Amino acid sequence: MYNELYEENPKKKATAWGYVWTAAISVSLSVSLCMVMVPGIQRGKLPFSKTAGESIFEQYTRTEGQNLSVVDIAKKNGPCIVGVNVKMTSTGWFGQAIESEGGGSGIVMSSDGYIATNNHVVEGASSVRVSFYNGDEYDATVIGRDAKTDLAVIKIEAGGLQYAEFGKSGELLVGDLAVAIGNPLGQEFAGSVTVGFISALNRTVQVEGRIYKLIQTDAAINAGNSGGALINQQGQVIGINSVKVSSAEGMGFAIPIDIAKPILDDLIAFGYVKGRPLIGFAARQEITKDMAERYGVPQGIYVGEVTPFGGAEKAGMKVQDIIVKVGGEECLTMARCNEIKDKYKAGDTLEIEVKRKNEATDKWETAKLSVVLTEEKP
């Protein structure tokens, strides 16, 4: 079933690679590639690791308003990037409890312990623990998660922390230096620094029916980098690493900080993204052109469920309606529906045109609905 919402799946637990989401990416060349949200990793023994408590970053002397060397970028931001280690409990075939572990990276946002990461890193976690570059560890609480943007905020009880400086992703240019810092393959490689360039801006990536606009970089992004930082030459965080192309090297993607920051602020303040619009329906099927011709039905979004007391129900939407226009624009897929809807806010009125079969005449008729959008809440 296709849903209006990018729904979370509370039953999904970590596997050996944890949180792997397969998706399709649409870029300017109109090529479909296999995508994954950069997964968390299964923790295990590796041949070597840094000594507990040993700092891999030397002291950084802050110099504002100038380009930094990669060495200084690492010194400035390394202490602000943490490992996010999660435990999950699932139920086996015979009712037994099965524990698994996974993890990713996070970015310290404030001196009092707010940390940004990806939703898919902490989704389904029964416990979360944060590890710093110097070996310090803290239990963490999930403050808020947003599956639609793959962002989350967690909190540790600590003070006086060194925190990251956020820049402006809107000022980036293709060819700018890009430095990624995170924990690829887990804490054994904590604080790994990889260097590349901004390969492209505003790449359109579609994951499970939701469209993302992401920064593309060739800085290496691997399993465990999820939630880590993409940093500009001024040492400012301009993206949160999230996605890579599994079938290609040198193609990683990050959520632009201009998009992420308001979401993170709402998660801290409210625990969810405030004001996000909701139509109030779930779709059973996207009817393609071939299906429409074969079965003699209109092409569009087949409504499988209407939320009781929601905006769509109050406007007169019915199960088996086929949505063909939203906001006066042709709308034949859920991805397009979400794209149009997200231009509005809760309380706005959204015009939706549907095709509805008249059982008496056996003909499809057009109905125009004025839906007052409600606020989406977890």
The answer on pLDDT for 47 being more than 60 is no
Whether 334 contacts 283, CB under 8 Å: yes
Catalytic residue among 169, 199, 226, 242: 226
Q: Is 26 a catalytic residue?
A: no
Whether 252 contacts 217, CB under 8 Å: yes
Catalytic residue among 72, 100, 105, 120: 120
Q: Domain map of the chain by residue range? A: 9-43+67-270, 277-375
Residue among 267, 373, 252 at smallest CA distance from 311: 373
- The 10 Å Cβ neighbour count of residue 291 is 14
Which of the residue ranges 14-18, 79-83, 147-151, 205-209 would you say has the lowest mean pLDDT?
Answer: 14-18
The model's pTM: 0.75
* Residue of higher predicted confidence among 280 and 377: 280
Give the DSSP H or E segment for 283: strand 281-287
CA atoms within 13 Å, Cβ hemisphere of 274: 9
Q: Is 321 a catalytic residue?
A: no
Q: List CB contacts of 184: < 8 A, sequence separation 6 or more.
A: 192, 220, 221, 222, 223, 224, 225
Catalytic residue among 150, 218, 266, 321: 150
| pLDDT bracket for residue 170 (50, 70, 90) | very high
| pLDDT bracket for residue 54 (50, 70, 90) | very low
Q: What is the pLDDT of residues 323-337, one digit of tens each?
A: 999 999 999 999 899
Q: What is the pLDDT of residues 116-165, one digit of tens each?
A: 999 989 988 889 999 998 889 999 999 999 988 899 999 999 999 999 99
Give CA–CA dist 164/228, Å, rounded: 11
Asked if the 9-43+67-270 domain carries CATH number 1.10.150.170, the reply is: no
Q: What is the pLDDT of residues 71-109, one digit of tens each?
A: 999 999 999 999 999 888 777 777 777 777 788 899 999
Q: List CB contacts of 349: < 8 A, sequence separation 6 or more.
A: 370, 371, 372, 373
* Residue of higher predicted confidence among 43 and 340: 340
Q: Is 100 a catalytic residue?
A: no
Checking DSSP bridges between strand 22-26 and strand 192-207, what pairing results, if any?
Answer: antiparallel
Asked if the 277-375 domain carries CATH number 2.30.42.10, the reply is: yes
Q: Do domains 9-43+67-270 and 277-375 have the same CATH topology?
A: no
| pLDDT bracket for residue 188 (50, 70, 90) | low
- The 10 Å Cβ neighbour count of residue 347 is 12
